[in-house]
Chain A
Amino acid sequence: MSSNTPIHVLVTDQDFDLAAEYASARADSENPGAIVMFTGLVREVLGEAASAEQTLTLEHYPGMTQKALLDIAEQAASRWPLQCIRVVHRVGTMEPGEQIVLVLSSSAHRHAAFESAEFIMDYLKTSAPFWKKQVRGNESYWVDSRESDYRALERWQQKSGSAR
């Protein structure tokens, strides 16, 4: 599973600059016709305690995280004709509205760029060693994994080998 697609993966406790990431993706791509940029944001949890101060803390497995993200990006690069992939994932404590994850994917045509960005996000949710802890006022809890995230993965496994 190797490709010549430039892949850039970063795990960081710092915020990222969308314009700079986009410019890098563009510079890394040879002759792009489509660039898809997905940004995940920390959402405010609504409910009875909504007025309490909220934070989201991302824990990860330092040795494994980078490897897992790289593996996911390489799977995407072997499945679609991509010109570059960039993945940035934050760790540490964030507040609602902050950027948490970025996926950039470029290709000659839009379908490959759209699909590969979605594929990377779907795999990242369930296969990269990150864990979310939600804090609201005095209470905190670990966010549960979602059945729907696993169903999203199955979709790609069924499509395997198609969709160019």
Chain B
Amino acid sequence: MSMTEATGIATVGRWFELSQFLYQEAALLDARDWDGWGRLFTSEGRYWVPAAHDQRDWINHVSLVNDTSLLRGIRLARLKNGDAASLHGSPDSSHLVSNIVIAEADEARGRYIVHSRFVVAQYASWGRHTFHGGYSHELVRESGEIRICLKRVNLVDVSGPLGDILTIL
């Protein structure tokens, strides 16, 4: 086997591993395993849904979601007990993830940026909605496990008007 082939096989292996990670994340959300999903993040990990195309940060521009671990805890607590008016009837979701590309890889530090596209269906008692867009996951290997530093969700219709986003995208 040539060096090129070996590198190629390693790349495919990494792509397979990171793709599986995204699929498993989607499966946790669809299974409503909120704690399991929360554990995918590093302690500083952030779940971010910008409110504009090409939004550069979450400080100088409003966001749809900007969950630090603390806010993620509040969001997950609401989802778990389901007592909030908007969460009655337990909105369900179906996440489809595709077009997965490793945009950047730093093997020495175990850091990766992965781009993908999604279709997320949200089913609530009052109606259903389908969200479309792209993910950008900034991932890091911690103690052998892949963890999320930043999950950025780029909705194609982010300019709105938008209806309720009750599920985690």
Q: Do A and B come from one complex?
A: no
**Residue ranges of B at the interface with A (Cβ–Cβ < 8 Å):** none
